[in-house]
């Protein structure tokens, strides 16, 4: 009955002598169902009136078009993928989808597609039947639900959030009310997802969703708009204080531990808040400003909330300027002109009080921006990939200083170098370490590399292989910031490490917080049972020192002994120390 006369047009040429041909043509023309036929390029070559009515397009407007113009963003890529898969394997697909009307509105329909093949088995045509009279309300409801909800958490998705926020903003404008939008990002979700797997990550997100719902009224909107990004809209607040109270409640609720099987997890939120009418009156601006505030919350140390202020845009500008200056400073490193220096902080043997080693800590002093805290610029260097060349420079510079220290007559001091995740991803690290040691005539035992717990857990295979090679060269390895990640003991046991550095956060409150004391005690015992040495960071008081000594901590580092010092001061410190402790 159908014959493609040219690529893009199809004439329905019923065989007049055959009753069935006429009947089929009638069926096509008069069907209540919309019917579309496409050619081998999947371009439309025929459409009936019912489809024209349904879609709002004239038949002529449809001919030659890709049926994709009819689709809507509500159908997920997965739906289309499974459709094409079914058509390839069984020549047939049926399902519920959303189409877009010519006027832009969206309508649900049941779609059936059949493939017609030529004698060689090549797909010639696709015939699609559309039925908008979905009698099955459940199917329609399900479609509506899927289009507007995140299947993992059952919360409204980004699409639903945007349209509801838009409505809420209109209502606030009419009724002269204030509204708060909170953007909530989990501080260490990526870490949990990377180290414990997506299943645990998914469970965590589901629990976060439940807790968020519990923190707000039923009339407030909670939605998930991205991986670990949630939003809460409070459509009726008396004053910003209400938003601050709710944010506080969300913080303390989410910060409580999560228990999944053997894992006890913690997931604190960083929250950015924008307010209507002060910070914007459309969803886009409101969200952008909440996002800026959220980044502010992150850089203010996470687990807190920040209100958007116009000043924050200046901060974003500062961040960009800092990135540019950092790029510039790294590309122009030279012996005579360098904005970077290293400071050194002593590590003390608990039992004897002897200085065993130093930790090299990077400093950046920019002529325009002044001295910048490493917490700040190292985060930027990591985000931008600049940490790679900068970290390489730290290795060389540390080795150069060790050489100079030896020339000053100081021996037996091992210097620890911080290594970031990106440096550990390439074998070049091995060549670099080998090269720097050889260049300054040092032994592998002269240095130690510190790798944070979360870094060690990323890309286990490459990491393990590189660490094994470093270790077999004779380089000592330490796990930094221990206790802040979620390393599995089973995995740690396989790493060729010699030291664990107990994170400063546990040491700070060791005397006042029984929890921290218990963690320190357990970590030290556990480390020892694995044959590892324990280093405590951030020891500031004698009481902390005594407490750690009692627990058997092997090495201490902190302001109690010395702040990180420039090289010359370090040499003087070591000489004086070695004279006093011969």
Task: Report d(CA 473, CA 446) in Å as an integer.
Answer: 12
Q: Please count the residues of the chain.
A: 582
- Count of residues of this chain found to bind ligand C2E when the rule CB under 6 A is applied: 22
The continuous run of DSSP H or E covering 545 comes out as helix 542-550
Only one of the segments 102-110, 275-283, 437-445, 533-541 lies at the binding site for ligand C2E (rule: CB under 6 A); that segment is: 533-541
Both tokens of 330, joined, read 């790294």
Q: Which of 335, 348, 349, 381 is nearest to 362 (CA)?
A: 381
Among 207, 418, 420, 454, binds Ca ion (CB under 5 A): 418
Among 14, 34, 235, 558, binds ligand C2E (CB under 6 A): 558
Task: Work out whether 559 is an interface residue with ligand C2E (CB under 6 A).
Answer: yes
Interacting partner of 192 out of ligand C2E, Ca ion, none (Cβ under 5 to 8 A depending on kind): none
Q: Which of 348, 343, 344 is nearest to 536 (CA)?
A: 348
Q: Which of 378, 373, 347, 404 is nearest to 562 (CA)?
A: 347
Interacting partner of 302 out of ligand C2E, Ca ion, none (Cβ under 5 to 8 A depending on kind): none
Interacting partner of 375 out of ligand C2E, Ca ion, none (Cβ under 5 to 8 A depending on kind): ligand C2E
Only one of the segments 147-155, 238-246, 533-541, 568-576 lies at the binding site for Ca ion (rule: CB under 5 A); that segment is: 533-541
Task: Work out whether 347 is an interface residue with ligand C2E (CB under 6 A).
Answer: no
Interacting partner of 558 out of Ca ion, ligand C2E, none (Cβ under 5 to 8 A depending on kind): ligand C2E
Shorter beta-carbon distance to ligand C2E: residue 215 or 476: 476
Coil, helix or strand at residue 7 = coil
Task: Report d(CA 43, CA 20) in Å as an integer.
Answer: 27
Interacting partner of 378 out of ligand C2E, Ca ion, none (Cβ under 5 to 8 A depending on kind): ligand C2E
Looking at the chain, the number of H-run helices and the number of E-run strands are 21, 23
Interacting partner of 540 out of Ca ion, ligand C2E, none (Cβ under 5 to 8 A depending on kind): ligand C2E
Only one of the segments 215-223, 342-350, 535-543, 569-577 lies at the binding site for Ca ion (rule: CB under 5 A); that segment is: 535-543
Among 33, 194, 450, 516, binds Ca ion (CB under 5 A): 450
Task: Work out whether 418 is an interface residue with ligand C2E (CB under 6 A).
Answer: yes
Question: For residue 538, what are the contacts with CB-CB under 8 A and spacing of at least 6?
Answer: 504, 505, 507, 508, 557, 558, 559
Task: Report d(CA 355, CA 555) in Å as an integer.
Answer: 9
Only one of the segments 164-172, 449-457, 464-472, 564-572 lies at the binding site for Ca ion (rule: CB under 5 A); that segment is: 449-457
Task: Work out whether 481 is an interface residue with Ca ion (CB under 5 A).
Answer: yes
Backbone angles phi, psi at 314, to 5 degrees: -60, -40
Q: Please, what is the minimum distance in Å from the beta carbon of residue 540 to ligand C2E?
A: 4
Shorter beta-carbon distance to Ca ion: residue 247 or 342: 342
Shorter beta-carbon distance to ligand C2E: residue 148 or 340: 340
In the chain, what is the greatest distance between 2 CA atoms, to the nearest angstrom? 116
Shorter beta-carbon distance to Ca ion: residue 201 or 483: 483
**Contact in structure between 423 and 387 (CB atoms under 8 Å):** yes
Question: For residue 443, what are the contacts with CB-CB under 8 A and spacing of at least 6?
Answer: 437, 474
Rule CB under 6 A: which of 125-164 touch ligand C2E? none
Task: Report d(CA 480, CA 484) in Å as an integer.
Answer: 9
Only one of the segments 138-146, 297-305, 366-374, 447-455 lies at the binding site for Ca ion (rule: CB under 5 A); that segment is: 447-455
Q: Please, what is the minimum distance in Å from the beta carbon of residue 428 to ligand C2E?
A: 15
The DSSP code sequence of 249-297 is HHHHHHHS-EEETTEEE---EEEEEEEETTS-SSHHHHHHHHHHHHHHH
Only one of the segments 15-23, 235-243, 297-305, 532-540 lies at the binding site for ligand C2E (rule: CB under 6 A); that segment is: 532-540
Rule CB under 6 A: which of 355-394 touch ligand C2E? 361-362, 373-375, 378, 387, 391, 394
**Contact in structure between 229 and 185 (CB atoms under 8 Å):** yes
The footprint of ligand C2E (CB under 6 A) covers 345, 361-362, 373-375, 378, 387, 391, 394, 418, 420, 480-481, 504, 537-540, 558-559, 564
């Amino acid at each position: 009955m159908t014959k493609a006369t040219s690529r893009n047009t199809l004439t329905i040429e019923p065989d007049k002598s055959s009753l069935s041909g006429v009947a089929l043509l009638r069926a096509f023309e008069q069907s209540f169902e919309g019917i579309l036929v496409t050619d081998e390029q999947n371009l439309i070559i025929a459409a009936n009136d019912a489809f024209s009515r349904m879609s709002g397009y004239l038949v002529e407007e449809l001919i030659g078009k890709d049926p994709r113009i009819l689709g809507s963003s509500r159908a997920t890529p997965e739906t289309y993928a499974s459709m094409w898969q079914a058509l390839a394997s069984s020549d047939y697909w049926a399902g519920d989808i959303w189409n877009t009307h010519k006027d832009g509105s969206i309508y649900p329909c049941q779609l059936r597609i059949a493939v017609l093949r030529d004698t060689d088995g090549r797909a010639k045509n696709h015939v699609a039947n559309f039925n908008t009279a979905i009698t099955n309300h459940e199917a329609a409801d399900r479609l509506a639900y899927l289009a507007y909800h995140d299947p993992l958490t059952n919360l409204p998705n980004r699409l639903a959030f945007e349209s509801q926020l838009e409505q809420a903003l209109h209502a606030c404008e009419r009724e002269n009310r204030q509204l708060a939008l909170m953007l909530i990002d989990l501080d260490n979700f990526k870490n949990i997802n990377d180290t414990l797997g997506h299943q645990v990550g998914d469970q965590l997100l589901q629990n976060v969703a439940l807790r968020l719902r519990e923190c707000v009224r039923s009339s407030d909107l909670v939605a998930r708009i991205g991986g670990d990004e949630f939003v809460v809209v409070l459509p009726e607040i008396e004053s910003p204080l209400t938003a601050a109270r709710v944010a506080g409640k969300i913080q303390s609720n989410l910060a409580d531990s999560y228990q999944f099987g053997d894992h006890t997890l913690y997931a604190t939120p960083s929250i950015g808040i924008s307010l209507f009418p002060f910070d914007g009156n459309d969803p886009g601006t409101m969200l952008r400003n909440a996002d800026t505030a959220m980044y502010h919350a992150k850089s203010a140390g996470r687990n807190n909330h920040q209100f958007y202020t116009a000043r924050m845009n200046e901060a974003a500008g500062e961040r960009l300027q800092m990135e540019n200056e950092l790029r510039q400073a790294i590309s122009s490193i030279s012996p005579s002109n360098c904005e970077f220096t290293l400071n050194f902080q002593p590590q003390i043997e608990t039992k004897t009080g002897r200085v065993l080693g130093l930790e090299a800590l990077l400093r950046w002093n920019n002529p325009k921006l002044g001295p910048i805290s490493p917490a700040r610029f190292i985060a930027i260097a990591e985000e931008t990939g600049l940490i790679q060349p900068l970290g390489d420079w730290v290795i060389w510079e540390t080795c150069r200083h060790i050489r100079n220290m030896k020339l000053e007559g100081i021996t037996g001091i091992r210097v620890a170098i911080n290594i970031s995740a990106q440096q550990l991803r390439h074998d070049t690290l091995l060549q670099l370490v080998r090269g720097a040691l050889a260049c300054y005539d040092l032994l592998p035992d002269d240095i130690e590399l510190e790798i944070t717990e979360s870094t060690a857990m990323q890309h286990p295979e490459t990491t393990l292989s590189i660490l094994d090679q470093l270790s077999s060269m004779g380089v000592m390895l330490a796990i930094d910031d221990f206790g802040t990640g979620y390393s599995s003991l089973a995995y740690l046991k396989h790493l060729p490490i010699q030291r664990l550095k107990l994170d400063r956060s546990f040491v700070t409150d060791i005397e006042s917080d029984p929890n921290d004391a218990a963690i320190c005690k357990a970590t030290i015992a556990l480390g020892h049972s694995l044959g590892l040495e324990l280093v405590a960071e951030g020891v500031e008081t004698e009481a902390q020192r005594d407490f750690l000594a009692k627990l058997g901590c092997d090495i201490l580092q902190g302001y109690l002994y010395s702040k990180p010092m420039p090289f010359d001061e370090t040499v003087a410190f070591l000489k004086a120390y070695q004279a006093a402790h011969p």
